[in-house]
A and B are shown apart, each in its own frame.
Chain A
Amino acid sequence: MKHIFIIAILVIASTFAIHTGLSSIGLLPAQASAQAVSIDQLFGIYTWAIAFVFSLIVVILLYSLVVFRRRKGETGEGAHIEGNTNLEIAWTVVPLLAVFYLAYLGGKSLGETRRVDPSAMVVKVVAGQWYWQFQYPDYGFGSGDLYLPVGKQVDLQMTSNDVIHSFFVPEFRLKQDILPGRTVDLRVTPTVIGSYKVSCAQLCGTNHAYMIANVVVVSQADFQAWVTKQLATASQDPALHGLQLVQQFGCAVCHSVDGSKKVGPTWQHLYESSVTLADGTKVTADDKYISDSIINPNLQIVKGFSPNVMPQTFGQTLDDSQIQAIIAYIESLK
């Protein structure tokens, strides 16, 4: 009986100590969405459960190892105890009830995160190797950054241009794989104004680590102002429009504008310059060369770079005026 009493005290003390320790170091990132609330509550329950079960097993284990250790010169065997059916039933049934309760809580929490607001704003998300593209069908433009108004549910309708990607913003707590040939949706209600990152969480090839875009949560008024600005720039200067497209389609992941070498050739001083191709020939980077290289990237590979890296679908996704705008932007980097 004495053993049981000491162990009970130690288990309780250890449970509280572990729980306090875990909570004080801050286990989770900042909470920035309505969906995160119920998820974090469930994490809170887990912290207690893990602290308790860990203490229960480890305390009894360590206690036994110390108290029942074989002392120097001691011979003989341990107590001949083969088992106890009631105890076995107890430690089968109690955990069974506990996990069913946890599963019930998990289901409830999943329901919370999937709650649908019929007035949600739709944003179409297109993921590709290795870029994010966000289209706002309500307003008719696209962006390389995901701007969201605070306090309003957004319905992200997501599809992939090539392989499987995954939408992940830790502060929102949510993750959803994005599949080619299908649209999957994810609903999130941002609750805190600020800047976050969306990164791809499903290994998607060489530059997977760099498939990151900004998520900017702003007030309603600021969101309206941003929409107005986007609509205005799209119709003005073609080079500015080009810059917008370049961000939107993720070109800058592989093409630098400061002369540094990335996966693809830099665009700095590219326009009208002389380019050496893989087969040794030299060509001038005029409008036709750039346009060809966007539509059919494998046609002319620049010396020192690999074929089959750049998506070969831009001929379909971009129309003529958009390609002209990108060329205008590259010209501005001359």
Chain B
Amino acid sequence: MRKFFSLGLVRGLIWQVIGTAFGIGLVTGVRALMRLPAWKAEPAVVVGALFGALFFLYGVGVLDDWLKWANGEETSDEEVDETGLGRRRYFGASQDHKVIGIQYLTLALILFTVGGTFALIFRTELVKPGMQFLTPLEYNTLMSLHGIVMIVGILIGISAFMNYTVPLLIGARDMAFPRLNAFSFWIAVPAGIILLSSLFLGGFDTGWTGYPPLSVRAPLGMQMFFLGVSLSSFSSILSALNILATVIRLRAKGMTPFRLPIFVWAAIATSIISLTATQLIGLAFQMVMLERLLGMGFFDPVKGGNPVLFEHLFWFYSHPAVYVFVLPGLGVISELLPVFVRKPLYGYKWVAMSSLGIALTGFLVWGHHMFASGMAEYLREPFMYSTLLVAVPTGVKFFSWVATIWKGKISFPTPMLFVLGGIVVFLLGGLSGPPNATVSTDLLLNNTYYIVGHFHDTLFGGYVFPFFASIYYWWPKMTGKRLNEKLGKLHFWLMGPGMLILTLAMMRVGLLGMRRRVADYDPALGFQSYHIAMTLSGYLVALSILIFFINVFLTMKRGEVALGNVWGSRSPEWQVASPMPVHNYDKPVVVVGEPYDYGLPGSRYVKFEGED
């Protein structure tokens, strides 16, 4: 029992409960002192949740060293060897980037399961016109939560891979700021709890976009949504800062910019966006929180505010965020393809620069979400041009992948299947994009199921498929065991077709005029058979994920042991035995060649100091 209560997570949760109670008490007490009616739910709960998150961070222990410094105490600079703790170290504030990577991965998978379950519930509701077992408010809440839980899950999942792989790929001992790294992870946990608590505080019916004035009128759950997202945005910003510092300062000897593994370029591009744009969504959401709590009028036309301003602030982050989601995935595709086709990555420098190109153009295109919003008319044309421009660097990636595959010696283990699936599904997402980019065609497509199909393809192709490719690929590195190939292939062959049917049906009904975010639809539209197909394929995707979890479970129990260079990779992390030792490389890594010179006899990418 004592052991259980010494776990960081458990202590954090207990402190979160205490902090929440403290915050609620504080607001109620102050109100009583001011001779106001003591109990007012909204400010009490918001301040309570905020204190709960802060107390959680204290309880879990990520503030310990900083508090000691503030107190003038010394702390040890030596990283602690926690291997003796076994699995327990995953439940506390570890500073090892590999442990934090796996913590992020676990949290991401939990959030995906929760968000996916929400989708299954409301997709089941949509099988028939008319309301079956949900009320419209419940439908709207589940649909909104599906969106935001998945988005937070994706961001967490990206941190998982960047945390685990970037230090390994560049030959570093750890991240540049290990304490900050632990903080970045652990703030996401109370943020996730607060976000999901909105389900029990009245829900919210605005979608993940939270546009005011609707979000000003929504139930209390709305505030938990805003607060949860604002807190988790700290996680994104700080881990982006950490990644950039790590790549700039901690690269192995000889690892010049154009000898970086290509995934690291994607991580740089993604981190630049996260570091500089995330503030805008936090800001926009906090402004609505203040509008609700203190009656400020930022977006209220009656008080001289402007609701379109919110849309600008919101999309200034939320469009580049899409590239935060997909750039690491595209980086994984570029990283893994050469390994499985045994050929150099075609046009390395162009692929690296295209990631930066996408990131920079991504900052100039947010207005395409607002073609029908009533923003200034003259803005529509420039945003159309800048948006279509994104197709150019994205095209460079596709052409380079195809040229990489050309004349290779291609094999098809599970990670490669997911890479190829990612390419095809992302191609569909990409090609369905330009009709949204030209204003006049977008006037039909905006806010229809077509958009839903389009972005599910880009996110599945650019994120979900590469995410699973990297899990299957790096699993032996993480655990020393290899996931079962048969179950992995079954996972792929269920998820791939399920995904394609789902998104193509979405685009089909969207073009015919089916609005998105509706709890019910008119049977006269004739869309019911498409909705049945979408729901069934949604279940197919869920089944494939279930098979993945079964695979993980069976592999942990009695999986094939794989300690060596399973895929024949040239990358440094595969030149040492799995699982990775605590401080990564015993001898420093030295880069002596190009990263992807497969097929060039006698060439090497890295050696270890002291070797020849």
B610 at the interface (CB under 8 A from A): no
B402-A64 in contact (CB<8A):
yes
Q: Separation in Å of the A54 CB from the closest CB of chain B?
A: 6
B444 in contact with A81 (CB, 8 Å): no
B405 lies within 8 A of A106 (CB): no
Q: State whether A54 and B410 are in contact (beta carbons under 8 Å apart), knowing that A99-B391, A107-B381, A170-B512 are contacts in the complex.
A: no
Check B440–A168 contact: CB distance below 8 A.
no
A70-122 interface with B by 8 A CB criterion: 70, 74, 76-84, 87-88, 91-92, 95-96, 99-100, 102-103, 105-107, 109-110, 112-113
A102 near B388 (CB under 8 angstroms)?
yes
Can you list, as one digit per residue, whether each of A39-55 has a CB less than 8 Å from chain B (1) or not (0)? 10011001001100110
Binds A, one of B31-39, B546-554, B593-601: B593-601
CB of B443 closer than 8 Å to a CB of A? yes
Q: Does A208 contact B (CB under 8 A)?
A: yes
Contact of A205 among B205, B411, B434 (CB under 8 A): B205
**Residue A143 CB within 8 A of the other chain:** no
Q: Is B42 an interface residue (CB 8 A)?
A: no
Taking the complex as formed, is B70 at the interface, i.e. its CB lies under 8 A from any CB of chain A? no
Q: Which of B395-431 contact A (CB under 8 A)?
A: 395-396, 398-400, 402-403, 405-412, 420, 423-424, 427-428, 431
Docked Cα-Cα span, A43 to B435, in Å, equals: 7
Q: Are A109 and B391 in contact (CB under 8 A)?
A: no
Residue of A95, A103, A180 near B301 (CB, 8 A) is: A180
Q: Does the CB pair A170–B409 fall under 8 Å?
A: no
Closest to A181 in B: B301
B479 → chain A, closest Cβ, in Å? 27
A179 near B: Cβ within 8 Å? yes
In B323-357, the 8 Å CB interface with A consists of 341-344, 346-350
Interface centre among A177, A184, A206 (most CB of B within 10 A): A177
Instruction: Give CA–CA (A176, B214) in the complex, Å.
Output: 17
The interface size bin for chain B is: 35 or more
In the docked arrangement, what's the CA distance between A39 and B436, Å?
Answer: 12
Q: Report the minimal beta-carbon distance from B129 to chain A, rounded to whole angstroms.
A: 10
Distance of A173 Cα from B444 Cα, bound (Å): 5
Is the CB–CB distance between B214 and A163 below 8 Å?
Answer: yes
- Any A CB within 8 A of the CB of B562: no
Return the chain B residue nearest A93 by Cβ.
B392
Asked if B434 and A177 make an inter-chain contact with CB atoms under 8 angstroms apart, the answer reads no
Indicate whether B515 reaches chain A with its CB closer than 8 angstroms: yes
Residue of B nearest to A76 (CB): B409
Chain A residue contacts of B599, Cβ below 8 A: 77-80
On whether the beta carbons of B136 and A206 are closer than 8 Å, the reply is: yes
B348 touches A82 (CB 8 A): yes
Interface flags, A188-212, vs B, CB<8A=1, else 0 = 0000000001011111111111101
Whether a CB of chain A sits under 8 angstroms from the CB of B274 is no
Inter-chain contact A210/B520, CB cutoff 8 Å = yes
In the complex, besides A82-B346, A88-B347, A179-B308, 10 extra interface pairs with C-beta distance below 8 angstroms are A28-B512, A78-B341, A84-B347, A99-B434, A106-B437, A110-B380, A173-B443, A199-B515, A201-B515, A203-B517
